[in-house]
């Protein structure tokens, strides 16, 4: 009888051990791809050049909330939830490149269809007066506005890999759900290229 009890206990212990390992393996199968994808996007390590991203990868990714503290309503960049964001610099003298960036980001946002709610456009106003911004918002509704000193923006860019690019102020940025600027685009990028990148990141990140 004692031997039978010991045998049962041994079997239960073995079953418990197998169950624990199965749980660990299941967690690894689910979590490791997500962690790997996040590390690749954050660091660029393991990213094949010229094949994955259409935009220019920033290295390292830069936290934008240290630059843009609050929007015109006093809310932080991430206050609207887990969203990917298109951040478009805007100055008082918005030239053709600036106008093109605003137009392309708006059209791409619309083309996302039902996924558009997971993306937000943010205007980074670099010293533009309120009248100019209000006029712009009539053409680009639902775009948040964050005021930043042009000199601060230039300094922030100078610390990134974009600093060597010509007319870096004419780029707009793709910012991830945690507030890190990941990629940059300019007038050489077509809307379809931005759309392709957005669809990819939305596919591989969880909806809140």
pLDDT digits (tens, 9 = 90+) for 174-207: 999 999 999 999 989 999 999 999 999 999 887 7
Give how far Cα 84 sits from Cα of 19, 31, 176, 206, Å.
38, 21, 5, 11
What is the spatial distance between Cα 18 and Cα 146, in angstroms, rounded to a whole number? 54
* Ordered strands of the 180-185 beta sheet: 56-63, 180-185, 172-175, 84-90, 119-125, 144-147
pLDDT of residue 49: 44
Note the pLDDT of residue 146. 96
- pTM of the predicted protein model: 0.73
Angle at 71 between CA 66 and CA 74, to 5 degrees: 100
**For residues 52 and 132, which has the higher predicted lDDT (pLDDT)?**
132
Could you count the other beta carbons within 10 Å of the beta carbon of residue 161? Answer: 15
The mean predicted confidence, pLDDT, of the chain is 82
Give the confidence band of 162 by pLDDT, cuts at 50, 70, 90. Answer: confident
| 199 alpha-carbon distance from chain centroid | 12
Query: Per mean pLDDT, which range of 44-48, 69-73, 111-115, 132-136 is the poorest?
Result: 44-48
pLDDT of residue 192: 96
Averaged pLDDT, 77-102 = 93
Taking only the tens place, the pLDDT of each residue in 14-58 is 656 666 667 666 665 665 655 655 555 555 444 444 457 899 888
Rounded mean pLDDT, 52-81: 90
């Amino acid at each position: 009888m004692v031997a039978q009890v010991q045998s049962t206990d041994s079997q239960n212990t073995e079953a418990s051990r197998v169950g624990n390992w199965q749980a660990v393996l299941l967690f690894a199968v689910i979590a490791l791809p997500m962690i790997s994808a996040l590390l690749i996007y954050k660091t660029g390590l393991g990213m094949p050049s010229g094949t994955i991203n259409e935009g220019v990868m920033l290295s390292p990714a830069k936290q934008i909330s240290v630059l843009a503290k609050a929007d015109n309503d006093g809310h932080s960049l991430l206050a609207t939830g887990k969203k990917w964001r298109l951040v478009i610099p805007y100055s008082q003298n918005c030239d053709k490149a600036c106008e093109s960036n605003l137009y392309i980001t708006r059209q791409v946002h619309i083309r996302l269809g039902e996924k558009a709610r997971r993306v937000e456009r943010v205007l980074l106003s670099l010293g533009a007066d309120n009248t100019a911004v209000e006029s712009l918002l009539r053409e680009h509704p639902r775009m948040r506005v964050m005021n930043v000193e042009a000199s601060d923006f230039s300094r922030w860019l100078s610390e990134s890999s974009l600093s060597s690019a010509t007319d870096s102020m004419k780029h707009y940025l793709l910012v991830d759900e945690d507030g890190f600027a990941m990629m940059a685009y300019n007038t050489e990028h077509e809307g379809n290229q931005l759309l392709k990148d957005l669809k990819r990141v939305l596919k591989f990140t969880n909806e809140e």
